[in-house]
């Protein structure tokens, strides 16, 4: 016995049998988990089918050099105007901590995405989803101000109850299917 450790157990046949059983169980559980996750992906809306999303028009913060890259003169951006681009939609909120992880990821990758060579430009648009609780001023103060630690150097807009453009010409709520 060395320093309180009993290495004699490694000489016993039962130890290696238990180790073998452990490896087999680990492999079975791991494979089952991955298979189950793959099979359950369809339950979470993951699919190879492409379905267009409803068109919407939202008001951006209208920041010169940022939002005006995709917005019209009044600061409005309509999703259908971005057709022909890869659009990364980030539905977020000021007080959503998990949203900030996504925004960090976007910030770390934005430059790489925009320099990708290919037939489609990559456009990122973050949309405030808690518009019933957070004002446009809250969003602008948190994400729009360049001295904010959560500043987003890509277009930021606010959702609303009348921003989705319905097939019948009416409008709908950004947070309602």
Q: Are residues 74 and 118 both part of a single domain?
A: yes
Q: What is the pTM of this model?
A: 0.69
Asked if residue 50 is part of any domain, the answer here is no
Overall number of domains in the chain: 2
Confidence of residue 21 (pLDDT cuts 50, 70, 90): very high
Asked if residue 135 is part of any domain, the answer here is yes
Exposed, middle or buried: residue 176 (CB in 10 Å: 0-12, 13-18, 19+)? exposed
Q: Are residues 74 and 96 both part of a single domain?
A: yes
Whether the pLDDT of residue 86 is over 60: the answer is: yes
Domain range enclosing 67: 57-172
Q: Are residues 33 and 69 both part of a single domain?
A: no
User: In sequence order, what are the residues at sequence separation of 6 or more whose Cβ sits closer than 8 angstroms to the Cβ of residue 123?
Assistant: 70, 82, 85, 86, 87, 88, 155
pLDDT at 1 (0 to 100): 47
The C-alpha angle with vertex 121 and arms to 120 and 127, in degrees rounded to 5, equals 125
Asked if residue 177 is part of any domain, the answer here is no
Q: Are residues 33 and 70 both part of a single domain?
A: no
Q: Are residues 19 and 99 both part of a single domain?
A: no
Q: How many helices (H) and strands (E) in the chain?
A: 3, 7
């Amino acid at each position: 016995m060395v320093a309180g450790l009993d290495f004699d157990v490694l000489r016993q046949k039962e130890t290696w049998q238990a180790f073998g059983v452990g490896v087999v169980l680990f492999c079975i559980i791991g494979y089952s988990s991955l298979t189950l996750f793959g099979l359950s992906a369809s339950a979470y809306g993951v699919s190879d089918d492409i379905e267009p999303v409803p068109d919407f028009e939202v008001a951006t913060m209208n920041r010169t050099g940022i939002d005006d890259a995709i917005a019209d003169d009044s600061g409005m951006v309509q999703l259908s105007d971005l057709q022909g681009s890869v659009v990364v939609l980030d539905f977020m909120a000021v007080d959503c901590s998990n949203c900030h992880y996504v925004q960090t990821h976007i910030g770390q990758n934005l430059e790489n995405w925009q320099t990708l060579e290919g037939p489609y430009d990559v456009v990122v648009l973050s949309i405030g989803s808690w518009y019933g609780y957070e004002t446009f001023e809250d969003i602008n103060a948190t994400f729009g101000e360049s001295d904010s630690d959560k500043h987003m150097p890509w277009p930021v807009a606010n959702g609303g109850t009348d921003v989705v453009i319905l097939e019948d010409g009416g409008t709908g709520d950004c947070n309602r299917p």
